[in-house]
């Protein structure tokens, strides 16, 4: 019955199917109306939430698998190797094989560990990821929840992922895990400041915290160009702090192999380890997606002021592809950092944040506020 409703809704769409990629709102409205015509509002909303949940689950798994293979390919490219090349064309199915292996692996119970917290920790990390993913705008009309405080919600929720890491480290009853968790906690808590201030710089420029409005404000030009030097500085600081937030190299002290074996997830095995691993990659996706939305225009095509013809040509590429193109560009940058720079020491890392990034950031917000007050931005 449900499938019937949806296919009916799809067939009532007047445009050819590929037009959906330009504007998803007609599709979502058609599904909504179809469900509401045959069901009570309560069940309609419940089924809509279920559909969105399943879509996000699939999206989560696909993005995670893709990012793992992308990381291995980028790493191979930088080290002048081929990378995985046995399973599927160009080794593209390697991560699927890895996932199947991880699913079948034994879950090793840890003696004298706090079982409840040990099992809870991976789920906290994953749930936090889902809560953030739901608030991002992926394309025109492809936005699950559009809060009027959108970007603040994203910061608020993502600040909780450190709790999963800390719980994992402590409940494993292992020195490596505990030290890894402590390092990760110190790192994430301090770099959150830089991320927050870099985002505030953009909020000052946009005059709104609603993600749809931030994207809409970039119709005439992306913020990284509109905001002169301060916006560009904020973008660089955001990328540095975002790399640190995701515990990736060169800031990967939390799981430095040569010192801590694997950091906070040393004691995890099988699919629970895979959860942490996946969450780390999705965190990277979230950081890149927020960077793309705030600085590079989100799903907005590349527009230049009054160049009508040029803007029309750019509009032919669907917003959906613009968003993912920009996001994967930022992800590629973050991957380049990991395979180019050597790992920092913990004191160097904290010095970088508290003595350099934070003061620069504070002055940057001030300059941006001044620019906006004087109306000097485009």
Partner 1 sequence: MTSNQLMFILFSAMIVVFSILTVTTRRILRAAAFLLMVLLSTSGLYFMLNYQFMAAVQLTLYAGGIVVLIIFSILLTSHISQKFEPVELKKSIFSALAAVAGAILCILTILDYSFSATTVAAQEVNMKLIGKSLLSVDYDGYVLPFEVISILLLAAMIAAIVVAKKGGPAKTKTPTLN
Instruction: Using CB under 8 A, list all residues that contact partner 1.
Output: 42, 45-46, 112-114, 116-117, 120, 147-149, 152-153, 155-157, 159-160, 162-163, 166-167, 169-171, 173, 178, 181-182, 185, 189, 208-209
Find, among 119, 157, 373, 181, the residue nearest to 286 by Cα: 157
Calpha distance 138→365 (Å, rounded):
27
| Cβ 150 to partner 1 shortest distance, Å | 9
Q: What tokens were used for 133?
A: 């993913």
| Cβ 376 to partner 1 shortest distance, Å | 22
| Cβ 248 to partner 1 shortest distance, Å | 20
Among residues 25 and 46, whose Cβ is nearest to partner 1?
Answer: 46
Query: Angle 150-158/270-295 helices, nearest 10 degrees?
Result: 150
| Cβ 44 to partner 1 shortest distance, Å | 11
**Complete DSSP assignment for 225-245:** HHTHHHHHHHHHHHHHHHHHH
| Cβ 152 to partner 1 shortest distance, Å | 5
Cβ 98 vs Cβ 88: under 8 Å: no
Cβ 239 vs Cβ 322: under 8 Å: no
| Cβ 300 to partner 1 shortest distance, Å | 22
Q: 143 φ, ψ to 5°?
A: -145, 110
Among residues 107 and 145, whose Cβ is nearest to partner 1?
Answer: 145
**Complete DSSP assignment for 185-229:** HHHHHHHHHHHHHHHHHHHHHHT---HHHHHHTTTTS-HHHHTHH
| Cβ 64 to partner 1 shortest distance, Å | 24
Among residues 117 and 144, whose Cβ is nearest to partner 1?
Answer: 117
Among residues 116 and 356, whose Cβ is nearest to partner 1?
Answer: 116
Among residues 185 and 301, whose Cβ is nearest to partner 1?
Answer: 185
How long a stretch of residues is the chain?
A: 378
- Number of C-beta neighbours around residue 268 at 10 A: 24
Among residues 23 and 213, whose Cβ is nearest to partner 1?
Answer: 213
Calpha distance 119→268 (Å, rounded):
9
Among residues 170 and 223, whose Cβ is nearest to partner 1?
Answer: 170
């Amino acid at each position: 019955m449900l499938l019937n409703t949806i296919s009916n809704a799809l067939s009532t769409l007047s445009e050819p199917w590929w037009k959906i990629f330009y504007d998803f709102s007609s599709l979502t409205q058609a599904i909504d109306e179809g469900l509401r015509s045959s069901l009570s509002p309560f069940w309609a909303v419940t089924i809509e939430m279920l559909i969105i949940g399943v879509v996000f689950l699939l999206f989560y798994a696909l993005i995670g698998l893709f990012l793992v293979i992308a990381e291995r390919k980028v790493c191979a490219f930088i080290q002048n190797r081929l990378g995985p090349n046995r399973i599927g064309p160009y080794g593209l199915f390697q991560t699927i094989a890895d996932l199947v292996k991880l699913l079948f692996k034994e879950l090793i119970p840890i003696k004298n560990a706090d079982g409840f917290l040990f099992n809870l920790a991976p789920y906290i990390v994953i749930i936090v990821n889902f809560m953030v993913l739901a608030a991002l705008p992926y394309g025109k009309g492809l936005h699950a929840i559009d809060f009027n405080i959108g970007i603040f919600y994203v910061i608020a929720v993502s600040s909780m992922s450190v709790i999963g890491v800390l719980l994992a480290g402590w409940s494993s009853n292992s020195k490596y895990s505990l030290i890894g968790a402590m390092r990760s906690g110190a790192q994430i808590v301090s770099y959150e400041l830089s991320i927050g201030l870099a985002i505030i710089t953009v909020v000052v420029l946009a005059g709104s915290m609603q993600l749809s409005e931030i994207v809409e404000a970039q119709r005439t030009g992306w913020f990284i160009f509109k905001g002169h030097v301060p916006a560009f500085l904020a973008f660089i600081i955001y990328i540095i702090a975002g790399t640190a937030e995701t515990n990736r190299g060169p800031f990967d002290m939390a799981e430095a192999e040569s010192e801590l074996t694997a950091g906070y997830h040393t004691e995890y095995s099988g699919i629970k380890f895979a959860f942490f691993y996946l969450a780390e990659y999705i965190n990277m996706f979230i950081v890149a997606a927020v960077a793309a939305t705030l600085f590079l225009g989100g799903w907005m095509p590349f527009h230049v002021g009054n160049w009508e013809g040029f803007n029309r040509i750019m509009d032919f590429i669907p917003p959906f592809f613009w968003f993912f193109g920009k996001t994967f560009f930022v992800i590629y940058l973050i991957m380049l950092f990991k395979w180019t720079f050597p790992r920092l020491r913990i004191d160097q890392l904290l010095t970088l944040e508290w003595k350099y990034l934070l003061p620069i950031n504070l002055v940057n917000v001030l300059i941006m506020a001044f620019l906006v007050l004087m109306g000097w931005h485009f």
